[in-house]
Amino acid sequence: MENIKKFVSKRIVFPLATLKWKVFHPKILPRLGMKFIIDPQVVPYYITNKKTFQRLLPLFDFFVNENSIVLDIGASFGFYSIYSSKIRNAKKVIAFEPTKRSYDLFLKNIDVNDARNIVVHRVAVGEEKKKAKLYYEKNCFGGNSLMGKGARYELVEVVPVDSLVPHADFIKMDVEGAEYDALMGMKQLLVQSKPPLIFESSRNDGHIRSLLASLGYIFPFAIGHNVLAVHHHDEDKINFLRKVYEDFQGKTGIRINLKKLKE
């Protein structure tokens, strides 16, 4: 039965969805009021991960306002950047997206949404300035990594965040295994600004959490594979954030599992 479901999804559902997207894009996302042009090859990824995208939105609703400077590291086609700009009315969004395909789509989505307070850097982030290979799969959306191996890659510029950004109020980071190197390149910003940070995690993230803990961060909970890190000075906000997530789940029907992390 499971094999039949996989066959139907691969051979029927995804091709039809891709065709629909080719004909009707840009598409207005339900309830969000944003438009996005997406490469038809990644429609299956978007369909299967739509709720995953939306699960992080309460964090932006809670932490981002008209006075906020937001960093979107690993911005892809710009979903969270444009949400911060157009829905949360952030003061400024500074985004980093090194891959050419995603960067080009991001620029188109900025135009489609008239999001003029977004600055996009086509670079990867790391501890030091250098050139590096960014590996990817042919038809893969997301998953591009400085840490991987493979036949396909782009040569990209890597820069420390501290060399470009002096202050931030909220950071979203999705850099596929390069989190530690990225954080080492923004230690000055983290010490001075103490922004809340959401990052994609794995089972082997102890060194990442140790680094952040040494800078005064705590980890109240995870949302799926994403870990929320807040400076201990903001610990009193966590109970309010839990209430925001309860309200979000009630309104959308999207199940949220806030997992307490093991120390």
Task: Domain 2-258: state its class.
Answer: alpha beta
Q: What is the pLDDT of residue 153?
A: 79
Better-scored residue on pLDDT, 60 or 240:
60
The vertex-74 CA angle with 73 and 75, nearest 5°, equals 90
Q: Taking all residues of the chain, what is their mean pLDDT, rounded to a whole number? A: 82
CA atoms of 228 and 198, how far apart (whole Å):
5
pLDDT at 8: 47
> By mean pLDDT, which of 60-74, 90-104, 114-128, 196-210 is the weakest?
196-210
**Between residues 160 and 254, which one has the greater pLDDT?**
160
Q: How far apart are CA 63 and CA 72, in angstroms?
A: 14
Q: Residue 245 has what pLDDT?
A: 80
Q: Is the pLDDT of residue 251 over 80?
A: no
Query: Does the pLDDT of residue 118 top 50, yes or no?
Result: yes
Which band of pLDDT confidence, cut at 50, 70 and 90, is reported for residue 240? confident
Instruction: Could you list the beta-strand ranges (E) of 97-221.
Output: 118-121, 124-125, 130-135, 153-159, 170-173, 197-200, 217-218
pLDDT average, residue stretch 151-176: 92
φ/ψ of residue 67, rounded to 5: -100, 5
Taking the CA of residue 6 as centre, how many other CA atoms within 13 Å lie in the half-sphere pointing to its CB? 3
Does residue 226 carry a pLDDT above 60? yes
pTM score, two decimals?
0.82
Q: What are the angstrom distances between the C-alpha of 81 and each of 14, 69, 116, 133?
A: 26, 11, 11, 25
Cα gap 165→120, rounded to integer Å: 12
Please give the C-alpha separations between residue 123 and each of 26, 57, 134, 163, 243, in angstroms, as whole numbers. Answer: 26, 25, 10, 12, 37
Q: Cα separations (Å) of 96 from 53, 90, 193, 225?
A: 18, 17, 19, 21
Top mean pLDDT of 43-52, 65-74, 95-104, 197-206 is at 65-74
Which SS3 state, helix, strand or coil, does residue 231 take? strand
Q: Distance between CA 125 and CA 25 in Å, rounded?
A: 31
How many CA atoms does the CB half-sphere of 75 hold within 13 Å? 36
230 falls in which pLDDT band (50, 70, 90)?
A: very high
Is pLDDT above 90 for 69?
Answer: yes
Report the candidate in 202, 153, 159, 195 with the shortest Cα–Cα distance to residue 179.
202
Please provide the DSSP assignment of 66-107 as one string: TT-EEEEES-TTSHHHHIIIIIS--SEEEEE---HHHHHHHH
pLDDT band (50, 70, 90) for residue 23: very low
> Cα separation of 232 and 216, whole Å?
6
Decide if pLDDT at 263 tops 90. no
Of 260 and 174, the one with more pLDDT: 174
pLDDT of residue 144: 55
pLDDT at 82 over 90: yes
pLDDT at 2 over 90: no
